[in-house]
């Protein structure tokens, strides 16, 4: 089934949409759980369903190193390999150009990594990034791009944008899978003119969707907020808009208000593994002694399995005893919290009350989630 996006409703710049993939429909705005190595750490597909997860993210670089994209293809593709029936998006390896820069050589032909596992060299060209993602069988593949750090000199940011545009053309030329949508990635840091130039050039190539990369790479929240709205405005209105690697609950709210449809971030599961839960009234640090005798749920109005079955006292005990169930239960709750937030946002846009919802959440959260 070819990819198809519908923009159903707007309220100012906030957008309510839906896209169709070979593995089902996704309602937007949507938060994708991060399953870098074919797993959302500590959680089963059934638990992800219980948390309301619509879509997962996997990673080209990590999965081609281990177990290998050809192995996954032989085993029926990434969906069958990890037992996940719903849509999957795969990142191209562009973020690893940023995060693994110490083990990297890059030019216009390719990014060459020295594997963090065994030191072997991995040459990742745009064409190879596409081949790997087609082997994985994801519903949405991403173009290979160069994601530079925030503090990169202006001259090199321009080089990275030019390389990103060159690679996008090569990815598009290499892509063959009819049931897989290929999204392009806009780079440019917080330089609005550079981002606009990148977005306009990519829009001429008519990709099915577009992402904003190069955020959450060292800039302050204020710098990201200032750059986000004009960056979103530069993207085609009739295609889904994906803000990569962001973020905190307040980040999601601010980004939806500026026209973003899709998000991913490790924050709910990483914080869950470190005994921090997200709730509607703020973060809860479950190692704190105040929870030792608290028989109440983590969040009273949350229907997730963690909140309906277990107390704060029990969760506190699990972390102090270093039992692996603690990270699982809090990760499960945090993903449920993020997905309830997105469902509430979708409903508010449908009912044309997102402006009030936005103001209420800002007043309730203050700086708690900044």
The angle at the Cα of 107, spanning 101 to 110, to the nearest 5 degrees, equals 85
C-alpha 200/C-alpha 235 separation (Å) is: 8
Q: Beta partners for 20?
A: 4, 25
pLDDT at 351: 98
Task: Provide the Cα torsion 319, 321, 324, 325; round to 10°.
Answer: -70
**What pTM did the predictor assign?**
0.97
Catalytic residues: 91, 264
pLDDT at 149: 86
pLDDT at 241: 98
Q: Which residues of 3-27 are buried (b: 16+ CB within 10 A; e: fewer)?
A: bebebeeebeebbbbbbbbbbeebe
C-alpha 126/C-alpha 314 separation (Å) is: 49
C-alpha 182/C-alpha 143 separation (Å) is: 7
CA nearest 260: which of 233, 241, 237? 241
Residue 279: enclosing H or E segment and its boundaries?
strand 276-279
CA nearest 261: which of 248, 252, 271, 274? 252
Tell how far CA 103 is from the center of its chain.
Answer: 24
Task: Provide the Cα torsion 337, 338, 343, 346; round to 10°.
Answer: 140
Burial class (CB within 10 angstroms; exposed 0-12, middle 13-18, buried 19+) of 321: exposed
pLDDT at 202: 97
Sequence-ordered list of residues with C-beta below 8 angstroms from that of 295, at least 6 positions apart, any chain: 311, 312, 313
pLDDT at 368: 52
pLDDT at 370: 44
Sketch out the chain's domains with CATH numbers: 4-265 (3.20.20.105), 272-359 (no CATH)
Helix (H, G, I), strand (E, B) or coil at 321: coil
pLDDT tens per residue, range 83-107: 999 999 999 999 998 898 888 999 9
Spatial contact of 182 and 214, defined as CB atoms under 8 Å apart: no
Under-70 pLDDT residues of the chain? 1, 367-370
3-state DSSP helix/strand/coil % of the chain, to nearest 5: 45, 20, 40
Spatial contact of 276 and 286, defined as CB atoms under 8 Å apart: yes
Task: Provide the Cα torsion 110, 114, 115, 121; round to 10°.
Answer: 70
Task: Provide the Cα torsion 275, 278, 279, 282; round to 10°.
Answer: 90
Spatial contact of 146 and 94, defined as CB atoms under 8 Å apart: yes
Region label for 96, one of left (φ > 0), alpha (ψ between -120 and 50) or beta (otherwise):
alpha
Q: C-alpha distances in angstroms, 62 versus 94, 124, 215?
A: 12, 12, 21
Helix (H, G, I), strand (E, B) or coil at 225: helix
Task: Provide the Cα torsion 175, 94, 17, 194; round to 10°.
Answer: -100
pLDDT at 192: 95
């Amino acid at each position: 089934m070819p990819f198809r996006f519908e923009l159903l409703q707007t309220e100012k710049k906030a957008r309510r949409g839906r896209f169709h993939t070979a593995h089902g429909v996704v309602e937007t705005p949507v938060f994708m759980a991060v399953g870098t190595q074919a797993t959302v750490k500590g959680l089963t597909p059934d638990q992800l369903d219980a948390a309301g997860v619509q879509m997962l993210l996997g990673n080209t670089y990590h999965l081609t190193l281990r177990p290998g994209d050809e192995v996954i293809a032989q085993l029926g593709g990434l969906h069958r390999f990890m037992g996940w029936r719903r849509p999957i998006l795969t990142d191209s390896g562009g973020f690893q150009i940023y995060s693994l820069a110490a083990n990297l050589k890059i030019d216009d032909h390719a990014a060459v990594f020295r594997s963090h596992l065994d030191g072997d060299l991995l040459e990742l060209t745009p064409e190879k990034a596409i081949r790997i993602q087609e082997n994985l069988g994801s519903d949405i593949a991403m173009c290979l791009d160069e994601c530079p750090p925030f503090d990169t000199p202006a001259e090199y940011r321009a080089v990275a944008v030019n390389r990103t545009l060159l690679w996008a053309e090569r990815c598009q030329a290499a892509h063959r899978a009819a049931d897989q949508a290929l999204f392009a990635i806009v780079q440019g840091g917080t330089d609005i003119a550079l981002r606009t130039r990148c977005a306009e050039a990519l829009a001429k190539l008519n990709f099915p969707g577009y992402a904003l990369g190069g955020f959450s790479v060292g800039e302050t929240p204020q710098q990201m907020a200032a750059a986000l709205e004009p960056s979103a405005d530069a993207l085609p209105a009739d295609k889904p808009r994906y803000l990569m690697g962001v973020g905190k609950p307040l980040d999601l709210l601010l980004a939806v208000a500026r026209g973003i449809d899709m998000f991913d971030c490790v924050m709910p599961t990483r914080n869950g593994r470190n005994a921090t839960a997200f709730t509607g009234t703020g973060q809860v640090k479950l190692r704190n002694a105040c929870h030792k005798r608290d028989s109440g749920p983590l969040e009273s109005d949350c229907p997730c399995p963690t909140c309906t079955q277990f107390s704060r006292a029990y969760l506190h005990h699990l972390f102090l005893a270093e039992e692996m169930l603690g990270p699982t239960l809090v990760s499960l709750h945090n993903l449920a919290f993020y997905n309830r937030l997105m469902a509430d946002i979708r409903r508010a846009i449908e009912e044309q009350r997102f402006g009030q919802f936005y103001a209420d959440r800002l007043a309730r959260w203050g700086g708690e989630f900044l």
